Amino acid sequence: MVAIGNAQEEQLSISKVEITGAKRTKVSFVMNLIKVKEGVSLDSTQLVEDIAHLKRLAFIANATFEVTKSIDNTCKVIYHLEENITLIPFANLFSSSNDNFAFRLGLQEFNLFGRGVTLGGFYQYDVFNSYGVNIRAPYLFSTKLGLAFSYKDLTTQEPVFFDDTTADYKYNNKGAELLGLYQINFKNRVELGFSLFREDYNYISGATNASVPQELKVNKHLFKFIYNYSDIKYHYQYLSGFRSNLNFQYVGSPNINLPEFLIGFNDFAFYKRIKEKGNWASRVRLGLATNVNTPFAPFTVDNNINIRGVGNTIDRGTAAIIINSEYRHTLIDKDWFVLQSNIFVDGGSWRNPGGDFGDFSDDQNLRIYPGVGLRFMHKKIFNAIFRIDYGYGITKNSSHGLVFGIGQYF
């Protein structure tokens, strides 16, 4: 074995590249993804980038490299892979809008055909029945170009807010989405596509108003653009670096009660390793939509999306500022199992439909929720993280509660 610094100084030529540990993953597929190739000079930068790229893949738990020098001033590069278990059932437990028990069960394969294709589906019970399927093939056409397709038939009981009162509606969203996926380079990728769907609102109970319809059925179309920048380093449960994800959409509609609108939001996330067992993680979400005065505004304040402990869909708005920050500390770290604790503070505010940016400072809208939680992780199964968080509100009209889920909150 030779140190990379010495390898660069001697300008070693790569005589052979090998992949070990690839059991379900196609070796030819990995060879196409990595930058290091046979017959070129050894470059330490490319080795480091290859390892970082491989660690980001859902089907790779860890990756290392080895460089072996030969007497003829050539070398062999070996990538050692630890594969994740990628056929994964999942279950989410949560409280629905009327405080009934609700759940989502699903199954996903993250390495279909050994080529990094994701295929999944779910069934959800939340007062009503829902289901969805999706397939994502980021390397379908090349190492940079792919496609994603999804179909969902999602039905929930949703609160709608108007005149300082609330009504419950049966909400259904049924439709399909097609996205083109393009990876510009190691850190930057874009997604561009469209969706055709139908939204149904049917009044169940609560307040009424002559100007708020009790039944709506609207066929809509959506155009979506996503830009993702990621410079995150992964080492099992530990993350370090910065990520930004921009999501911009145009939603077209022929109905004045659910009018067309533009919506955009950007998630900025920062992670820092703290000594051996700590990880600090923070997320800032900035969102803005067309400021239509409608009770069906697009941004929601919700336990499972942005503020832990706040409740299920407690309000809606046309703009949002959300900040989540937490310290994660590993309590137990075995070969396959990790127990992690966390201390967090979630906070945010929003603009009321038809309101102005002064709404952000209104104490009726401001929410701050500190809390604590636990993470139970399997190190060899992708995203096998069961989380429990308890958030307690310290601002006006606050609540408190447990939030369960699969995967880190952000």
Rounded Cα gap, residues 207 and 204, in angstroms: 10
CA 387-267-101 angle, to 5 degrees, is 35
- Tell me what pLDDT residue 226 has: 98
List, for residues 161-206, the tens digit of each pLDDT value: 888 888 999 999 999 999 999 999 889 999 999 999 999 999 999 9
Q: What are the DSSP E strand ranges found in 290-336? A: 299-301, 315-317, 319-333
- The low-confidence residues of the chain, meaning pLDDT below 70, are 1-10, 94-100
Rounded Cα gap, residues 159 and 173, in angstroms: 15
Rounded Cα gap, residues 39 and 12, in angstroms: 10
Rounded Cα gap, residues 56 and 233, in angstroms: 8
Q: How many CB atoms lie within 10 A of CB 396?
A: 12
State both tokens at 366: 């401001």
> In a 10 Å sphere around its CB, with 0-12 CB exposed, 13-18 middle and 19+ buried, how is residue 237 labelled?
middle
3-state SS assignment for residue 223: strand
Q: Which residues are within 8 A (CB) of 354 and not within 5 positions of it... i.e. 6 or more apart?
A: 291, 292, 293, 294, 318
- Tell me what pLDDT residue 335 has: 87
Rounded Cα gap, residues 45 and 9, in angstroms: 13
3-state SS assignment for residue 355: coil
Q: Supply φ then ψ for residue 39, to 5 degrees.
A: 90, 0
What pTM did the predictor assign? 0.85
Q: Which residue has the tokens 């603009």?
A: 351
The CA–CA distances, whole Å, from 153 to 3, 97, 169, 406 equal 55, 18, 16, 21
| Stretch (H or E) spanning 392 | strand 385-392
Burial 143-168 (b: 16+ CB within 10 A, else e): eeebbbebebbbbbbbbbbbeeebbb
Beta strands at 385-392 and 400-406: parallel, antiparallel or unpaired: antiparallel
- Tell me what pLDDT residue 97 has: 46
- Tell me what pLDDT residue 77 has: 96
- Tell me what pLDDT residue 10 has: 61
> In a 10 Å sphere around its CB, with 0-12 CB exposed, 13-18 middle and 19+ buried, how is residue 210 labelled?
exposed
List, for residues 311-331, the tens digit of each pLDDT value: 877 888 999 999 999 999 999
Dmax (CA) for the chain in angstroms is 87
- Tell me what pLDDT residue 99 has: 56
Give me the domains of the chain, ranges plus CATH numbers.
4-83 (3.10.20.310), 87-103+162-167+206-406 (2.40.160.50)
SS (H, E, C) 93-140: EEECCCCCEEEEEEEEEEEECCCCEEEEEEEEEECEEEEEEEEEECCC
State both tokens at 140: 């379908």
Rounded Cα gap, residues 379 and 324, in angstroms: 25
End-to-end CA distance of the chain: 39
- Tell me what pLDDT residue 6 has: 45
Rounded Cα gap, residues 196 and 20, in angstroms: 44
- Tell me what pLDDT residue 204 has: 94
DSSP annotation of 209: B
Rounded Cα gap, residues 262 and 268, in angstroms: 20
3-state SS assignment for residue 28: helix
